[in-house]
Amino acid sequence: MTNTVLNMKDIVKSYRDGEAQRTILNHVNLTVRAGEFVAIVGPSGCGKSTLLNIAGMMLSPDSGEIELCGQTVSALPKKKWTRIRKEMIGFIFQNHQLLPYLKAGEQLSVLLKCDGQKVQELFGELNIEHLIDQYPARMSGGERQRVAIARAFASDANLILADEPTASLDSERGRHAVEMIQMEVHKRNRAAVMVTHDERVLDLADKIYKMEDGKLMES
């Protein structure tokens, strides 16, 4: 379908574990469409973050194909991966990764060349207009995470990848952060994949997958 943003086909990834070869992703398939918010759950070490890193062009699979918006990107030379990450993928990390020397608004305007109107619009949607001129050190964890969400969506990325976005937040702030991601995914018609341990936010996802023994199954 034309609105398919991410298509991962037959992804295999293994690591050496002492003398043994350990397969962490065993012929995994995942399709995510525009406007779809997908959650992936599973025990620690099951391969969730590895899958996210492969989807985000940070790590290459041993075999299999990755398509972004219909283009087979896994076959492209590695030097082109940086441009694809910058243009097509937005990341939300568990520790927000804001630059301490930039104010909240500058995280978008300076790093992503966003104009002031777009910064105001995104901060307004996420209820953080009052933070535009604040430095990260003066914000709460939940506020920093919302700025990180604004930054991910400000890039006009087709695909948003969220790695444990609630990990450093209490349950109320964590849920609020995921509600913000869900709202932006649906409003801006983006595709999003969230890896999480937090089962309290799974009702906000459109689809839930479970990773177990190297396999990905729809829950």
The residue behind tokens 């914000």 is 139
95's torsion region: left (phi>0), alpha (psi -120 to 50) or beta? alpha
**The dihedral formed by the CA atoms of 91, 97, 101 and 107, expressed in degrees to the nearest 10:** 20
Name all domains of the chain by residue range, CATH numbers in brackets. 4-218 (3.40.50.300)
- In angstroms, the CA 197 to CA 19 distance is 30
pLDDT at 114: 82
pLDDT at 62: 93
* Residues with Cβ within 8 Å of residue 188, at least 6 apart in sequence: 153
pLDDT at 16: 86
pLDDT at 109: 86
Give, for all 219 residues of the chain, the pLDDT tens digit.
Answer: 459 999 999 999 998 888 888 899 999 999 999 999 999 999 888 899 999 999 999 999 999 999 999 999 988 888 899 889 888 999 988 777 899 999 999 998 887 788 888 889 889 888 899 999 999 999 988 888 889 888 888 877 899 999 988 887 888 888 888 998 999 899 999 999 999 988 889 999 999 999 998 999 998
* Residues with Cβ within 8 Å of residue 137, at least 6 apart in sequence: 100
pLDDT at 213: 87
Give the global pTM: 0.89
3-state secondary structure the chain: CCCEEEEEEEEEEEEEECCEEEEEEEEEEEEEECCCEEEEECCCCCCHHHHHHHHCCCCCCCEEEEEECCEECCCCCHHHHHHHHHHHEEEECCCCCCCCCCCCCHHHHCCCCCCHHHHHHHHHHCCCHHHCCCCHHHCCHHHHHHHHHHHHHHCCCCEEEEECCCCCCCHHHHHHHHHHHHHHHHHHCCEEEEECCCHHHHHHCCEEEEEECCEEEEC
pLDDT at 1: 44
pLDDT at 2: 58
